[in-house]
């Protein structure tokens, strides 16, 4: 297939992107301990992947309470801001743009991770869901532990979380990020509010679709106010059901959210789509309707081949295509696509989260002709 669109430049507000490849956010759990501080190894990893027009960082907790897995980075301390500057500097020098993904896990956590009881819209434990710690077992491998019962958030907790997202966004801009992505996907706090099976509240944050989108919209509005609408993107995952997410109304809820986000004029909506091999295709009607409702940039990520991505771009249903695992294993993924070169595969799944530090992280090779 001839790629007319994938390699075309794109203007995301003030950011001129060199191509339509987006490196999707991927947790890799290599922040320096004990304080979850981004470091030089992470800067090397992201700089290697500056071949993407836009990079979204791994999910980054806005507070200790918002942390759900060991060794993920934060964006709430001075030290973390300074650490992130290594990454933004390296990526900018290598010619790409980078947004930070702001994260609160809500109920997807354990006191074994952060010493705190998780918080959530309702006191409902996510079934069949685990998080990981590093407890010295198995040669430094992650050990999975079940999530714990969360405490139902009161209004003060909600106000605190909104403030944490705002401070996280301001800190990200101080660390020279080009923008922030609010993580509203994958069963974490904001998604827990969106869905009727995890949100059984009877106050203004639950009960109806309008109420369930309230936290997402309040956070988005506050972040827009703090750092600007052109620097605020949102990630949503209407078609994902893992981490005990289940809601027959989710598609209508997402459209309602998209209408409100359009009013806020945020930079983009990033769809986190199913990524397993036989995942159902997203109905074209959904894409057309979203395009109609939301006027700014739309991004789609999830098990896309370059051909599928190119087709979505050519059909004008999305503006950027996200690739996760292909960027993880191929720092020069766009060049490999352009020249139809072979791809590196995941070398060792133990190195996906923490594990080998540089191994399975910065040692995936750029293409070399034999």
Ligand X SMILES: Cc1cc2nc3c(=O)[nH]c(=O)nc-3n(C[C@H](O)[C@H](O)[C@H](O)COP(=O)(O)O)c2cc1C
**Least CB distance to ligand X at residue 320 (A):** 13
Tell me the two tokens of residue 201: 């509240």
> Among 107, 235, 287, 336, which residue sits at the site for ligand X (rule: CB under 6 A)?
235
Cα distance between residue 324 and residue 298, in whole Å: 17
To ligand X, the closest distance from the beta carbon of 57 in angstroms equals 8
Per-position x/- string for 139-178, each x denoting binding to ligand X as judged by CB under 6 A, each - no binding: ----------------------------------------
Please say which residue, 5 or 28, places its beta carbon nearer to ligand X.
28
Q: How far is the CB of 71 from ligand X (least distance, A)?
A: 13
Q: Which of residues 289-318 bind ligand X (CB under 6 A)?
A: 301-303
**Given 27, 51, 253, 330, the residue binding ligand X (CB under 6 A):** 27
186 near ligand X, rule: CB under 6 A: yes
Q: Which of 25-33, 105-113, 163-171, 205-213 is the region at the interface with ligand X (rule: CB under 6 A)?
A: 25-33
Q: Give the tokens for residue 306.
A: 């370059």
- Asked whether the beta carbons of 218 and 161 are under 8 A apart, the reply is no
CA distance 183 to 190: 7
Helix (H), strand (E) at residue 54: strand 54-61
What are the b/e assignments for 345-369, b being 16+ CB within 10 Å? Answer: eeeeebbbbbbbeeebbbebeeeee
CB of 202 to ligand X, least distance (A): 30
3-state secondary structure of 277: coil
Q: Report d(CA 8, CA 18) in Å as an integer.
A: 7
Q: Which residues contact 369 (CB under 8 A, 6 or more apart)?
A: none
Active-site option among 3, 69, 132, 188 = 188
245 contacts: CB under 8 Å, gap ≥ 6: 187, 191, 192, 195, 197, 198
Number of helices (H), then strands (E), in the chain? 12, 14
Q: Per CB under 6 A, does 104 bind ligand X?
A: no
Whole-angstrom Cα distance, residue 318 to residue 81? 32
- Closest to ligand X by CB, 44 vs 275, is 275
Q: Is 46 among the catalytic positions?
A: no
339 to 358: interface string for ligand X, x by CB under 6 A: -------------x------
Rounded Cα gap, residues 108 and 130, in angstroms: 7
Single residue of 262, 275, 293, 356 touching ligand X by CB under 6 A: 275
Position 198 contacts ligand X (CB under 6 A): no
Which residues are tagged catalytic? Answer: 188
Interface residues with ligand X (CB under 6 A)?
A: 24-27, 58-59, 101, 183, 185-186, 235, 272, 275, 301-303, 323-326, 352
């Amino acid at each position: 297939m001839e790629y007319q669109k994938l390699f075309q430049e794109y203007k995301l507000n003030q950011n001129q992107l060199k191509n339509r490849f987006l490196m999707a956010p991927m947790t890799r759990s290599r922040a320096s301990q004990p304080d979850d501080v981004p470091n030089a190894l992470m800067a090397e990893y992201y700089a290697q992947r500056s071949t993407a027009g836009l990079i979204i960082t791994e999910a980054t907790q806005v507070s200790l309470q918002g942390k759900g897995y060991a060794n993920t980075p934060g964006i709430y301390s001075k030290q973390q801001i300074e650490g992130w500057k290594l990454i933004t500097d390296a990526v900018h020098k290598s010619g790409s743009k980078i947004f930070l993904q702001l994260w609160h896990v809500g109920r997807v956590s354990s006191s074994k991770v952060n010493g705190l009881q998780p918080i959530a819209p309702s006191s409902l434990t996510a079934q069949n869901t685990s998080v990981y710690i590093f407890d010295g077992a198995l040669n430094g491998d992650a050990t999975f532990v079940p999530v714990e019962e969360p405490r139902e958030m009161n209004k003060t907790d909600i106000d605190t979380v909104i403030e944490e997202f705002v401070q996280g966004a301001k800190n990200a801009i101080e660390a020279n990020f080009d923008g922030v992505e609010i993580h509203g996907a994958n069963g974490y706090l904001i998604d827990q509010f969106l869905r009727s099976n995890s949100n059984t509240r009877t106050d203004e944050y639950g009960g109806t679709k309008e109420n369930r989108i309230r936290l997402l919209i309040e956070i988005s509005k506050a972040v827009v106010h703090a750092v600007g609408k052109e620097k605020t993107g949102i990630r949503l995952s209407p078609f994902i059901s893992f981490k005990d997410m289940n809601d027959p109304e989710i598609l209508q809820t997402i459209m309602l959210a998209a209408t409100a986000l359009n009013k806020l004029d945020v930079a983009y909506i990033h769809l986190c789509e199913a990524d397993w091999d036989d995942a159902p295709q997203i109905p074209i009607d959904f894409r057309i309707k979203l395009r109609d409702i939301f006027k700014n940039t739309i991004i789609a990520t999830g098990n896309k081949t370059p051909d599928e991505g190119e087709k979505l771009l050519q059909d004008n249903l999305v503006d950027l295509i996200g690739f996760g695992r292909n960027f993880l294993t191929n720092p020069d993924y766009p060049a490999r696509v352009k020249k139809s070169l072979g791809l590196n595969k995941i070398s060792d799944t133990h190195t996906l989260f923490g594990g080998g530090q540089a191994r399975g992280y910065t040692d995936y090779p750029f293409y070399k002709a034999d």
